[in-house]
Amino acid sequence: MIMIMKNRKKTTTDLSAKHFSRYGEFLVSFELSKHGWNIYDPVYDEYIDLIIHKHVCEECGKNWNLTPVLVCKKCGKDFSKSLKKDIVAKKICQDCKNEMIGNKTKCAKCQSENLINHPSCDKCDGEVEMIDHSCKCGSKKYITKFRTIQVKSSRIEHGDGKSKNTYAVDMKPRDLIKDESHFYIWCLLDDKDHPHFLVLSVKDFIKVMGDSLKGISFFKDQDRQHFSSRDFGKWREFLDKFDKLE
């Protein structure tokens, strides 16, 4: 019997409440990465758990790469990723036009020190230049987005050793940061430890809560949203709504 206990596979129920809450923040972070966000962790917890940020094309919304690209002017070969070692270190003497490869400081022909760098393509000898990223759609403009996120995590509630088939999320007046850039992500772990994400704005929350937002229990920090783990109840419309962050 002891052996069986020892070998039992661990689940999120083995985490303390504090560690579980952190676990949820990480799951949300990984999920946000899939949607192209960069994630930052505030030094102090002031009801904002994550700051997220991305650059996207102003025209088509595709993710934007801010690092410049290294390409051959002549044949278009892209050296940006891992091929930098293939860039030929060519120097040209300004006085006699002699071309040399390698780390020269003087012209081998005329001894002039008037050399200019000419990074060259290993394929066609064309000049490699650094150009700013432009989108495949043709746009040269990008926008920067910042969002703040509060994460709340819940496992399925159990009572008397039985599943209640509900999740529970504690919401308090201090969570109502009324900023257009602020969002809640509720990370809900089912009994197989699979996460489900509800993404909602502060406005969405206020709208769904309706009059219960003025309720005494909410004012007293005693409000707990219980909802079905099967269909997410009245919060269902926010399932996987990561588009709301865009």
Which positions touch Zn ion (CB under 5 A)? Answer: 57, 59-60, 62, 72, 74-75, 77, 93, 95-96, 98, 107, 109-110, 112, 121, 123-124, 126, 135, 137, 139
Answer for the pair 27, 19: CB distance below 8 angstroms, yes or no: no
Give min distance, CB of 118 to Zn ion, in A. 13
Residue 49 CA, distance from chain mean position: 13
CB of 30 to Zn ion, least distance (A): 26
Q: Which long-range contacts (CB under 8 A, 24 or more apart) does 87-93 make?
A: 87/119, 87/120, 87/121, 87/122, 87/128, 88/119, 88/120, 88/121, 88/122, 88/125, 89/117, 89/119, 90/117, 90/118, 90/119, 90/120, 91/115, 91/116, 91/117, 91/118, 92/116, 92/118
Smaller CB separation from Zn ion, 60 or 101: 60
Residue number, 71 or 151, with CB nearest to Zn ion: 71
Q: Pick between residue 72 and residue 151 the one whose CB is nearest to Zn ion.
A: 72
CB of 74 to Zn ion, least distance (A): 5
Q: Sort strands 142-155 and 182-189 into parallel, antiparallel or unpaired.
A: parallel
Burial class (CB in 10 A: 0-12, 13-18, 19+), 107: buried
Q: Residue 67 CB, nearest distance to Zn ion (Å)?
A: 17
Nearer to Zn ion, 100 or 177 (CB): 100
Q: Which of residues 88 and 208 has its CB atom nearest to Zn ion in the complex?
A: 88
Minimum CB separation from Zn ion for residue 146, in Å?
20
CA nearest 169: which of 183, 181, 187? 187
Shorter beta-carbon distance to Zn ion: residue 127 or 190: 127
- From the CB of 133, what's the least distance to Zn ion, in Å? 10
